[in-house]
Structure formats: structure tokens, C-alpha cells
Structure 1
Amino acid sequence: MYISLSDEFMKRISFILGFLLLFSCNYFTAKKTSSEAILNEELKAFNWNEVDDYPSFALCDTAASKELRKQCFQNTLTNVITDNLQKETIIVKQDVNDTITIKFQISETGILSLIDVTVDSITLQEIPDIKSMLTSSLDSLPKIYPALKRGQQVKTEFRLPVVIQVN
């Protein structure tokens, strides 16, 4: 009797172990992923709104941090636009105190393009040539180095506020 109980017990244990071994094989199989699936996963995790290095001018390369280089770029751009506008002779009937928003794009090759200018209607009435003045002021910018993302030059868009005060 003792021998048959252990034989029965051993059969059940063997059956259970065999069953577990048979169905646990899925844990040991290597999951194959295609390069397309990996690329799609990377693209989902990729932050398209951030760049590793902002566009810059040669004089901004000495700035210590990414944020300081961005600030230097924006300040240089604002100063060039402001200086060129101050050289213009602007005659107005009423005082103009407005903040103009300039939207521009810097290509992968460092070419700056004006996309849009948001101007108040009163400012546009008093200074009808403001858009052409802004466009011509961008022509005097120093060489622009494009933004970098993962070591590649990328296209970027910026909005820049410019304060206009004419008395």
C-alpha cells in the first residue's frame, strides 16, 4: 500500500511539473521586435518641442549654459531689429506704444525667414511700412547657426516680442 501511494503521488507530481514546463515555455522565448516598432516607440518618446542646442550667433557660443545661449540669441536678435528701426525716420500723427510679435523660422541651414508679424491696427495705421522695415532689419543679422537635435541641424520657429514706441 505504501508503494502504490508514492507511485500515485509521483505520477501526479510528474504530471503537474510536465504541465507547468509545457506552458511556461512562453516565458523563455525571446521577443522579436522589428526596427519599425523600435522607431515608432522612439518617435513617441521624442520631444519635438525641445532642441538640444538653440540657434545661435557666433558671439553667443561662449555662454556657459543652454539657457544663457538662448537668451543671448534672443537679445542679439532684438537689439539688431531695434537698432535698425531706430535708424528709420518714422513720423506719426499720434503716439505709438505697442508690442509687436514677430514669428520667424530658422532653417536647417541657418536661414532666417519671417513667417508672420502681429501688429495692432493703430500701429499699422500710423506706420504702414512696419512689416517691410522689420523684414529689412533681419537682413543685417550676423550668420545664424541652426538649432541641433541629437546632433542634427533642425528647423525651428520662434516668436519674438518687440516693443515699438514712437512719439
Structure 2
Amino acid sequence: MKHLYLSFGFLLLVSCNYFDVKKTTSDAILNEELKTFNWSDVDEYPSFASCNDAISKEEKKHCFQNTLIAIITNKIQRDTIVVSQDINDTIFMKFQISETGILSLMEAKIDSITLHEIPNIKELLKNSLDSLPEIYPAIKRGQQVKTAFTLPVIIQVD
């Protein structure tokens, strides 16, 4: 019986370490959370009202991109462009969408031949963005966030 009490007392003393509560600071929790946070992905991509019917995240992304390309293409096609040689170029347009849904053109990578043949191409691209429908910003963890993306636009003039 004496051994039983001694064993029980020993186990009681050893097990006390398992009940110690370790305190962590809010900074430590924040730093741990930031390590697991994926900064390059959003929960929902920016979208137009017409794209809200899409079911998956990828479908909404493609709908937004296709709608934006269609708007830009339609507005550029309305202008008469006269060139001395055929142009078949892909313009890479870098956009930024603010937390409030304002789209701005950050940069457009245009080939020098296209710039020579269509000197006002940058102005045409900026003007094509003037009357866009309402854009719903991207969402990350329930918050509206600023996003940037690059979109290829194909220019063909014969």
C-alpha cells in the first residue's frame, strides 16, 4: 500500500507540468497567422454584376476578364484606325482595382511598331475604360482589397 501511495504521489507531481498554461502574446499570434497567409490569392476576384451568376471562383475570374476584354475591344473597334501595314499585336495591360471598385490602367506594354502605326493607341485604351459598368472589388477574408492583374488584348488591323 505504501508503494501505491508513493507511486500515486510521484505521478501527481510529474503530471503537474501538463497543466501549465503557456501565455502567448497577440503579436506572436499575428506573426504566426501572417506566415500562413497567402498574399497572392483572393477569396473572390473582382467582378461585374453580369458575372455574379457564375458559380465557381474560376468562372467568375474568366467572366470578369472576358467582359473587360470585350468592352475594350468593342470601344476600340468603333474608332477608325488607318495604318500603312498590317498589325497583329498583343498588348499587355496592367490594371489595378481599388478597394472601392475603381479600375485604373497602370501600364500598357505595346510593341514599337504598333506605337508607330497607331500613335494614339494609349489614349484609345484609356478612353475604352471610361464608361465601364460597376466593378465589385476583390474580397479577401471578408474585406474588400486592392488587386492588380495583367490582361492581354489582341490588336489586329488590316
How does the TM-score come out when normalised to structure 1?
0.85
How does the TM-score come out when normalised to structure 2?
0.90
What one-letter code is carried by the residue in structure 2 that aligns with 1:36?
D
Match of residue 50, structure 1, among 41, 46, 58: 41
Mapped pair 1:75 → 2:44: no
Aligned length: 158
- Structure 1 distance, partners of 2:109, 2:9, is 74
Q: Deviations over 1:42-64 (max 9, x none)?
A: 11111111111110000100111
Q: Between the two proteins, what is the percent identity of the paired residues? A: 68
Match of 1:32 in 2: 23
- Structure 2 distance, partners of 1:139, 1:17, is 80
Q: Secondary structure at the match of 1:63?
A: coil
Q: Secondary structure at the match of 1:165?
A: strand
Structure 2 portions without partners, runs of 5+: none
Q: Which structure has the larger Rg over C-alpha atoms?
A: 1
Mapped pair 1:89 → 2:88: no
Match of residue 121, structure 2, among 130, 148, 151: 130
Within-5 A mapping of 1:1-167: 25-167=16-158
Q: Would the aligned equivalents of 1:110 and 1:145 in 2 still touch at CA under 8 Å? A: yes
> Could you say what the CA RMSD is over the residues aligned between the two structures, in angstroms?
2.1
1:22 deviates by 6.3
Q: Displaced runs of 4+ in structure 1, greater than 2 A?
A: 14-28
Q: Deviations over 1:110-155 (max 9, x none)?
A: 0001000001111111111111110110112100000001110000
Structure 1 portions without partners, runs of 5+: 1-13
